[in-house]
């Protein structure tokens, strides 16, 4: 990592990691779920209580529910072991770019762009190649929830369902599939801007 231009700090356990994160405000956090003193899943919300830095989870656990739990708790990405260093560095660069873009975007602008799609959150309008899309309120809320998650970042099914239909519908994945289908139809050739992460959720725009 040092040779790649980063200056990493290493923590041997969760307590030390939380202390370092609080005292040094790192640009990004690589979190191994297999910690000796605490399950890494429990560390994520504790980090999110005081930092907005990207969190990339590293784990040998390959179950989808584990990925969903980490992302729902506030992780930005999930890398399964074993992984190539090149893949990890690419995901780290992507997470840092998204964080920088989010920090630089003022609340008054609130415009998300990806490919030919522009989502103006403040004015509640989406444009494709400059032309306004005619969306139902539910379709708009779904697209806005994806946009707020950040381009290239996965938003879990539970997060989307809670944001659009309310917490009582967090398990109603069929609603989500239907409305994602509606959005893709209206996007036409740009439908691929909504990526499916099977069993986990959706990404808006490029994964990078």
pLDDT tens digits, 102-130: 665 544 457 889 999 999 887 888 999 99
Instruction: Using 50 as the pLDDT threshold, list the residues of the chain that sit under it.
Output: 106-108, 207-208
Same domain assignment for residues 116 and 90: no
End-to-end alpha carbon distance in the chain: 19
Look at residues 100, 61, 97, 52 and name the one whose alpha carbon lies nearest to residue 79.
61
Predicted pLDDT of residue 107: 46
> Which H/E stretch holds residue 59?
strand 55-59
Same domain assignment for residues 72 and 140: no
Q: Provide the CATH number for the domain around residue 8.
A: 3.40.50.2300
Predicted pLDDT of residue 97: 84
Predicted pLDDT of residue 62: 67
Instruction: Give the domain range for residue 63.
Output: 2-104
Q: Provide the CATH number for the domain around residue 157.
A: 1.10.10.10
Same domain assignment for residues 8 and 49: yes
How many CB atoms are located within 10 Å of the residue 11 CB? Answer: 16
pTM: 0.59
């Amino acid at each position: 990592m040092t040779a790649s231009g980063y200056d990493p700090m290493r923590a041997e356990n969760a307590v030390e990691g939380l202390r370092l994160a609080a005292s040094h405000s790192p640009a990004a956090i690589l979190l191994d779920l297999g910690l000796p003193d605490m399950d890494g899943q429990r560390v994520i919300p504790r980090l999110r209580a005081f930092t907005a830095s990207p969190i990339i989870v590293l784990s040998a656990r390959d179950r989808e529910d584990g990925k969903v739990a980490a992302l729902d708790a506030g992780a930005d990405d999930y890398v399964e072991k074993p992984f190539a260093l090149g893949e990890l560095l690419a995901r780290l660069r992507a997470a840092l770019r998204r964080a920088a873009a989010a920090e630089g975007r003022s609340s008054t602008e609130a415009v998300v762009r990806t490919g030919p799609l522009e989502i103006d959150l403040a004015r509640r309008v989406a444009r494709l190649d400059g032309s306004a899309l005619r969306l139902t309120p539910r379709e708009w809320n779904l697209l806005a929830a994806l946009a707020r998650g950040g381009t290239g970042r996965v938003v879990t099914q539970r997060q989307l369902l809670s944001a659009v239909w309310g917490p009582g519908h967090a398990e109603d994945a069929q609603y989500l599939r239907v409305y994602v289908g509606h959005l893709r139809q209206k996007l036409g050739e740009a439908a691929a801007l909504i990526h499916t992460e099977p069993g986990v959720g959706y990404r808006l725009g490029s994964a990078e």
